[in-house]
Structure 1
Amino acid sequence: MKTPSQIFKVFFISVVVLFSSCSKDDSKSDENASCQETKITMLVNGESQSFHAYGRGIDIRSDGYELSLNFGREEQNPYQEQSIVLHLPYKTTGQNIIEQFIYSQYKDNTLFRGDFLEGELQSNVITNTKNCFRMTFSGKLSDANQEVIITEGKISYTYEEPFSE
């Protein structure tokens, strides 16, 4: 027959093991909790637009790793193409950390291509993990012929496969 102290020890060890395993699972779920369904939306010159995620990658550079993200609009009309390319430090979050934000559109037989860092870009990278990326942004860019204003920009991109580390 087991003594009350032996029963208490078994109970105590069981509780410790249970809570230890939960905290490990919680850390994984915390990392995924900031991930949301993939969705890229913005207003471009007041027109609501949605984009699709076309790819991602990590490049090695002297000061760490660079995350590259590619988005585009699937249009049936090749004369209405749009794309976005982002470059920023991998796993870094915060205000205005985007190193390059290239926006291109071919609309009404006119090509517009520009890096928003040469114009005005306000951004907030909320999540930048091996599993997903999330940010908000707005900005204005002009070239010699036209101006593009983007407002209410939101990117939520959950990767099909996490980056290996």
Structure 2
Amino acid sequence: MDKVMVRGQLRRLRDERVPSRDRAADAEAIALSALQAAHEAGVGPGDWVAAYESMATEPPTQALVAAFLARGIRVMVPVTKPDWDLDWREVGTESPLGLEAIGRASVVFVPAHGVDARGTRIGQGKGCYDRALPRTAATLVAVVHPWEVVLDRDLPREPHDRPVDAVIAAGTGLRRLPAG
């Protein structure tokens, strides 16, 4: 199956399943797993992580962001540019940090519709993160719903797709992947 078909299937599952999720419980579980990932990467007060502000059907990231801020960890979030590249801004400000700011992050939490056991990530399809991720050597952690961790088959991967190092899903926690 190609990415368009897989993405469509995963979007339909979100539309069906997300309304019955306990978003508050999911948010707390995701935040705890994100703190674990950051701790394992050696992130401490004053260090940077990159996250994103989740949309209604995405796994909730508000508690993740709040947990880092409460610990003095700086959080940058993306600002999508007209050409689909990503600029960044620090949470709580509107000032752009620049395209290269992602290089400051020790861990980058990325949105995904699905992640397989090899670390292949299916995103929204606009290539925003495909443009941004080459600018960082950070640990990459996809944030998904539990059913979006696809272990029974390989997702389609193109040469420009950078595998993620780990995946977080509420209910399953942090899972390290043999990216490659």
TM-score calculated relative to the size of structure 1:
0.27
TM-score calculated relative to the size of structure 2:
0.26
Structure with greater helix share of residues: 2
Q: Which has the larger radius of gyration?
A: 1
